[in-house]
Chain A
């Protein structure tokens, strides 16, 4: 049999197309690029086998068919996870087996082949139908896989878009967060500064009230000092007179007794006025001293009286024409009350200063020629609580002002005259420092009354 007969060329030709189809179908150039290099040339082995001719044991066609089928099987094996690939192998298998068997039988025993020719014919027909059927199934599988793949790609694309959006949003959020954090830090810084400023303001409020006091203090010390000096001088005169009388032969005993009584009285007055000055200095030191925050038994009547005078003279030192009556109505049975004297002194001073300011304002308005500016302080013990009231018949205040007076930095005084911290500090001292209450009652044009209540 001639090697180069028509059947051989047809076989090579068919192998070429089958391999081309398989390569296309399974996309081996992209899926298995390394193997595809050889696979696409497999059909050429037909010519090699043809060329080798006699050397190779016959029949060469079987070898060629085996090479082609095994190469396809190997390809499918490599792509085992791909379902259409398996189906394809399944499609090709019967045809491959039958055609190999046919070629084998044909070459081994031609007579036997002649006898069984019909079986092979029908087997080949069946295997071709099988092949086509499964090729179609494989194609469909491939198509649906492709569809799924496309969907997945679409999904992946969408996911990527969503991911991008998410990243974008996250970037924005991070940016905003950074901005907010920066702003928060700035605000915290500002708050810190404000707190420092407030501390400084509270300090300067203390100093300002001390400044307001200095004139009052000076006056209040000057007065008793004058008496101390005057009574000392007059006592020296009295002693001179007494010595003179003593030297006389006819001593006037009655006069001597009178002079001695006066001397004693003067020395008592010196002690009294000296004590007055000393208590004012003590009060001033206490006022300027940082509060210990310690409660101690305090004579609230004496404290009130002292600050009432200081406030009055403090204001009068600034306005020489100012004149007011101040009266005190003290409950002498109160005794000593536990409180922080520096702090409560500050509260009293503030209330008195405000009261005198209010009566001064009303006096300046000059509406009533018979107006008598009056400030009154009273102390009482009511149900085991100490009640201190500070009343004035000054300008009073409208409801809108009354609502705000305990707020920090609220002031009705012209800029630069009040810090607006006085009453807010007073409120804190009474409520937080002494568990008490600070109430206000006011009528515009008639006056104001502040009432401090603290547990005794």
Chain B
């Protein structure tokens, strides 16, 4: 697998420390080049990133509550503009794990719904299934 064509996971969260956290949590996987992590601090940033790397991104992990474009809005855009198969798996993450949000995420086409704090063991398991 060449580095340009390596499968990418995009993490969207307004908290910058999320980047450090993911990089350390997936340190082995990154080192072993199982996949590559990319980060966006907002929905807008995520969309512009996707415009350049649409075909490479297999999984998007997005926070719902962000200033500016919300996770739901991002999800709607992804399902609208980046739907060429294979369409990316989208997992929504939120601190407010209420049924309404989950239903809304599912309705908008999310593949999964995770609540903070993230259980990285579970997340790794899910990633392995996808990759």
Residues of A within 8 A of B (CB): 219, 222-223, 225-227, 229-231, 233-234, 237-238, 241, 262, 265-266, 269, 273, 316-317, 320-321, 323-326, 372
Contacts and interface: CB of A to CB of B under 8 A. Distances in A.
A141 to B, nearest CB: 116
Contacts of B129: none
A227 B17 contact: yes
B107 interface: no
Given A219-B95, A223-B15, A269-B20, A323 B117 contact: no
Given A230-B120, A238-B27, A326-B67, 4 more contacts: A230-B21, A237-B27, A269-B17, A320-B98
B21 A231 contact: yes
Nearest to B43: A323
B116 A266 contact: no
Given A222-B95, A325-B67, A234 B25 contact: yes
Contacts of B25: 230, 234, 237
A323 B65 contact: yes
Contacts, number: 61
Nearest to B42: A325
B54 interface: no
Given A226-B116, A230-B117, A234-B24, A323 B96 contact: no
B20 A372 contact: no
7 contacts: A230-B118, A234-B24, A234-B25, A316-B65, A316-B96, A321-B72, A321-B104
Contact of A372 (B15, B65, B68): B68
A326 B68 CA distance: 9
Contacts of B20: 231, 265-266, 269
A222 B98 CA distance: 15
A222 B21 contact: no
A226 B119 CA distance: 11
Contacts of B116: 222-223, 226
Contacts of A238: 24, 27
Contact of B68 (A230, A273, A317, A325): A325
Contacts of B65: 316, 323
A266 B117 contact: no
Contact of A324 (B67, B98, B117): B67
Contact of B21 (A223, A227, A326): A227
B95 A223 contact: yes
B55 interface: no
Interface in B20-35: 20-21, 24-25, 27
Contacts of A223: 15, 95, 116
Contacts of A266: 20, 24
Contacts of A233: 120
A372 B73 CA distance: 13
Interface in B77-131: 95-96, 98, 100-101, 104, 116-118, 120
Contacts of B117: 222, 225-226, 229-230
Nearest 3 CB-CB pairings of A with B: A226-B117, A323-B70, A325-B67
A234 B20 CA distance: 10
A323 B44 CA distance: 14
Given A234-B25, A269-B20, A320 B101 contact: yes
